[in-house]
Structure formats: C-alpha cells, structure tokens
C-alpha cells in the first residue's frame, strides 16, 4: 500500500472548517479572535492572505541562512501555529526551538492540537500572553506576521523597540503586514485587486463587505514607508522588503551584530 505523509492539506482537514463566518445575516460588533474565528482560521488565512505559504517558505530560507543551529524563534501572534509547524518541518536539520505567543486561548488550543497531531510537541511550545509585554531576551528571530496591524498605532513604536531589545545581536525580525498606499487612486485599485483575489477563492461580495466592516476599527494598516520607518526607529539598521503582493508586504529587519 502507498505510504502517505502529512501535507498542508491534510493538516487543514484536521485543523478546521471552511470559513463561512460572514455568510450569516449580521455580525455584531468588531472582529475578535474568538472560538468561532479559531475554528475556521486556517481556511480564512489560506483564502484571504495572498501567497501565505510562499511567504512562510521564504521565511524558512531567510532563517535557514541567517541563524545558527539551535537558535530560538518566537512567533508573536502565532494564532493556530501554522507558521511554526511549517518552519519546524522545513528546517528540521537546524534543531531550532520554537515558541508561539498569542492571547487567544481558542487559537492556542488549535495550535497545540496541530503540534500533537503532527508529533511536533518536542520542538513547538505555545504560551498565552500579551505580545506587547514580550519578555524573551536572547531570541534569535521574532516573527510578526499580519499582527502588528492589530496593535493600536500609538503603541507600535514602543512595542517594536521592546522586540528589538529582546533580540540577540545580529538577530532578525520578520514583519508581514497588510498595507495602504497614500496615493488614493492606487490604494483603491490595490483594494479592488485584493477583493478580486478573495472572490476567486469563493468569498461573495457581501462576505467581503461584511468582513471589511467588522475589521474597520480593528485592523489599522500603515504604508510600506511608515512600517519601514517604525522598524528603523526601533533600532533596526538593515530593513528590506523580501516580498510584496499589491497591498501586502513582508520585511526582513536585522539588529546590528554588536
Ligand atoms: C492575523 S492573526 C496572525 C496570523 C499568524 N501570525 C499567521 O501568520 O498565521 C493575529 C493574531 O494575533 C493575536 N493577537 C493580537 N493582539 C495580540 C496581543 N496583544 N497579544 C497576543 N496576541 C495578540 C490574535 O489573537 C491573532 O491570533
């Protein structure tokens, strides 16, 4: 009989259901990372974040190149642990240790379940906590994927400085964000292209509009330049985007070695 190894798709089949949250008549209040969202989150990300898997693969390339064997990687706002699970597979020979921090108990339950299902409990740890109070000195790499946008803009500078302080010299921060453009015409076009992307993945116009409304006061994006400035103000000297798809960008930021 043919042997099967776990793939991303089987992982998703075990991990959650199809996102139909915004098909319901009304959504009361702002978007929150609760039980209902956690149940469908993997499907939501897969259909809402352009090139999500490619970004994780690029992160694996970066960390594989830049970090020493046995380094500690901390994922801030790890949700259901997909990124760490994938990195632990892609970088198996590097013997990195992985810690995911999130303040949603429902997300962490899913993350722990997935780690158990795929026999990764040894290398993956998950902790309930507020990432803005992170206290992990000596970390070699922090990941902050699609999460800074949920931190109040006023707190972002202090938070990124704290992340910088917790990094070891030569350490790296990966920052992925949804962004805006300050050119109104271009901004509108990019949003249209993004909505088209979501329609092609099975979301209706009504679902797209309702989610947008629910996220309105919760997800507050900055421009590429504003994010770059924030990283530089925090102390990072080398800051470069390594991926961009219209209104989504991922940065590599490096702390000087001494
Ligand atoms: C969009 S999701 C992140 C997706 C995830 N990084 C990935 O790439 O799969 C944002 C996550 O950040 C968490 N979060 C938001 N604010 C937080 C905070 N102050 N402390 C801890 N977690 C937070 C939410 O619970 C949610 O799971």
**pLDDT tens, 97-155?**
999 999 999 999 999 999 999 888 889 999 999 999 999 999 999 999 999 999 999 99
pLDDT of residue 225: 98
pLDDT of 21 strictly over 60: yes
Three-state DSSP state, 125 = strand
User: Is residue 248 assigned to a domain?
Assistant: yes
pLDDT of residue 13: 40
Total structural domains in the chain? 1
Question: For the purposes of burial, counting CB atoms within 10 Å of the CB of 253, is it exposed (0-12), middle (13-18) or buried (19 or more)?
Answer: buried
Comparison of pLDDT for 62 and 25, the residue scoring more? 62
Residues in the chain: 258
Confidence of residue 10 (pLDDT cuts 50, 70, 90): very low
Q: How high is the mean pLDDT of the chain?
A: 91
* CATH code for position 122: 3.40.50.150
Is the minimum distance from the CB of 86 to ligand 1 under 6 angstroms? no
Is the minimum distance from the CB of 229 to ligand 1 under 6 angstroms? no
Is the minimum distance from the CB of 33 to ligand 1 under 6 angstroms? yes
| Ligand 1 atom showing the smallest separation from residue 130 Cα | 20
**Cα 174 to ligand 1 centroid, rounded to whole Å:** 14
What's this model's pTM, rounded to 2 decimal places? 0.92
pLDDT digits (tens, 9 = 90+) for 28-54: 667 888 898 999 999 999 999 999 999
pLDDT digits (tens, 9 = 90+) for 207-232: 888 888 888 889 999 999 999 999 99
Confidence of residue 24 (pLDDT cuts 50, 70, 90): low
pLDDT of 250 strictly over 60: yes
Number of helices (H), then strands (E), in the chain: 9, 7
User: Is residue 208 assigned to a domain?
Assistant: no
pLDDT of residue 78: 98
pLDDT of 15 strictly over 60: no
Query: Residue 252 to residues 126, 145, 177, 238: CA-CA distances in angstroms?
Result: 23, 11, 12, 8
User: Is residue 200 assigned to a domain?
Assistant: no
pLDDT of 27 strictly over 80: no
User: Is residue 164 assigned to a domain?
Assistant: yes
- φ, ψ at 97 (rounded to 5°): -110, 145
Is the minimum distance from the CB of 149 to ligand 1 under 6 angstroms? no
**Cα 133 to ligand 1 centroid, rounded to whole Å:** 14
Domain that holds residue 126: 31-182+214-254
User: Is residue 121 assigned to a domain?
Assistant: yes
**Cα 75 to ligand 1 centroid, rounded to whole Å:** 9
Confidence of residue 6 (pLDDT cuts 50, 70, 90): very low
User: Is residue 228 assigned to a domain?
Assistant: yes
User: Is residue 67 assigned to a domain?
Assistant: yes
pLDDT of residue 8: 42
pLDDT of residue 122: 85
User: Is residue 238 assigned to a domain?
Assistant: yes
Tokens of 96: 């990195």
Is the minimum distance from the CB of 97 to ligand 1 under 6 angstroms? no
- Pairing state between β 72-76 and 248-254: unpaired
Is the minimum distance from the CB of 111 to ligand 1 under 6 angstroms? no
**Cα 3 to ligand 1 centroid, rounded to whole Å:** 35
Residue nearest to atom 10 of ligand 1 (CA): 147
């Amino acid at each position: 009989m043919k042997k099967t190894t776990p793939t991303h798709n089987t992982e998703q089949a075990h991990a959650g259901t199809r996102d139909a949250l915004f098909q319901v008549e009304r959504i009361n209040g702002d978007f929150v990372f609760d039980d209902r969202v956690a149940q469908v989150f993997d499907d939501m990300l897969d259909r809402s974040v352009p090139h999500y898997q490619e970004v994780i693969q690029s992160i694996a390339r970066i960390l594989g190149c830049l970090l020493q064997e046995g380094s500690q990687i901390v994922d801030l706002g790890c949700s259901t642990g997909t990124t760490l699970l994938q990195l632990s597979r892609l970088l198996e020979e590097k013997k990195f240790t992985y810690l995911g921090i999130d303040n949603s108990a429902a997300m962490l339950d899913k993350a722990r379940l997935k780690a158990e299902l795929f026999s990764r409990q040894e290398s993956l740890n998950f902790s309930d906590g507020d990432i803005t109070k992170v206290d992990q000195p000596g970390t070699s790499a922090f990941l902050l994927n699609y999460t800074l946008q949920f931190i109040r803009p006023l707190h972002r500078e202090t938070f990124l400085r704290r992340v910088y302080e917790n990094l070891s010299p030569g350490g790296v921060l990966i920052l992925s964000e949804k962004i805006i453009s300050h050119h109104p015409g271009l901004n509108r076009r990019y949003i249209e292209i993004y909505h088209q992307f979501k329609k092609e993945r099975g979301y209706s116009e009504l679902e797209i509009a309702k989610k947008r409304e629910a996220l309105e006061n919760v997800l507050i994006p900055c421009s590429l330049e504003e994010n770059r400035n924030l990283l530089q103000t925090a102390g990072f000297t080398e800051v470069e985007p390594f991926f961009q798809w219209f209104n989504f960008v991922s940065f590599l930021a490096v702390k000087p070695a001494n």
